[in-house]
């Protein structure tokens, strides 16, 4: 069923007397499939759930029976999406296609290579619209049994403009006044409009 037994065959035959049992441990230990792990055995070649585990008995047998390996994918595609930003090499996403289930996938190197003008990277999330990350910029995940995409979570960068009275005072005793803006905001002064970009 997509796998191969020791010796290169795709079939394994066990001969037992009628009324006796056949055990799945021997074929389970002999079969493999690249990128998959064996879940068990079933009478349907398209089954996703095993009728027998990898160390079960089948029987007592009343006649010939064919069973098929049930496989579960063990390597998955993890996609890291810049989500409005861009990576240093101008890519919008990275694909790590050889992530083994149960292994650790680290985001540190991706966090260091992604950029979005006027924004600060907060971390990563499975939702493209998240405002708070599920994984920190230097965090990691344990790869599960499905493909996954993680999106960059951005927050507008802020900048502080400090106004000095230069001899004048605010509120009677303040010599300066600081105001925080988002980078890219339009800052209006009574004497005109200025665009603050950095």
57-61, 63-67, 115-119, 172-176: least confident range: 172-176
Residue 197: what pLDDT? 46
In whole numbers, what is the pLDDT of the chain averaged over residues?
A: 88
- Cα within 13 Å of Cα(5), Cβ side: 13
Residue 191: what pLDDT? 53
The structure's pTM equals 0.59
Helix (H) or strand (E) holding 28: helix 25-30
CA distances from 197 to 60, 79, 117, 157, 161 (A): 78, 31, 10, 10, 12
pLDDT in tens, 83-123: 999 998 888 888 776 788 888 999 999 999 999 988 999 99
Residue 49: what pLDDT? 94
Residue 170: what pLDDT? 63
Residue 172: what pLDDT? 65
């Amino acid at each position: 069923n997509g796998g191969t037994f020791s010796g290169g065959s795709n079939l394994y035959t066990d001969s037992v007397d009628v009324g006796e049992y056949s055990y799945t441990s021997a074929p389970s230990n002999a079969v493999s499939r690249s990128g998959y792990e064996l879940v068990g055995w079933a009478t349907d070649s398209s089954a996703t759930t095993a009728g027998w585990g990898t160390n079960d008995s089948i029987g007592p047998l009343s006649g010939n029976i064919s069973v098929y390996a049930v496989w579960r994918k063990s390597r998955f595609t993890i996609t890291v999406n810049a989500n409005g930003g861009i990576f240093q090499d101008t890519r919008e996403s990275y694909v790590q296609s050889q992530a083994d289930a149960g292994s650790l996938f680290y985001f540190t190197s991706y966090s260091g290579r992604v950029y979005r003008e006027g924004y600060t990277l907060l971390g990563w999330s499975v939702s493209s619209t998240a405002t708070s990350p599920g994984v920190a910029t230097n965090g990691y995940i344990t790869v599960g049994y499905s493909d996954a995409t993680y999106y960059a979570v951005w927050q507008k960068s802020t900048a502080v403009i400090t106004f000095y009275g230069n001899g004048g005072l605010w509120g009677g005793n303040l010599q300066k006044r600081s105001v925080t803006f988002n980078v890219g905001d339009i800052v209006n002064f009574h004497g005109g409009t200025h665009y603050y970009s950095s």
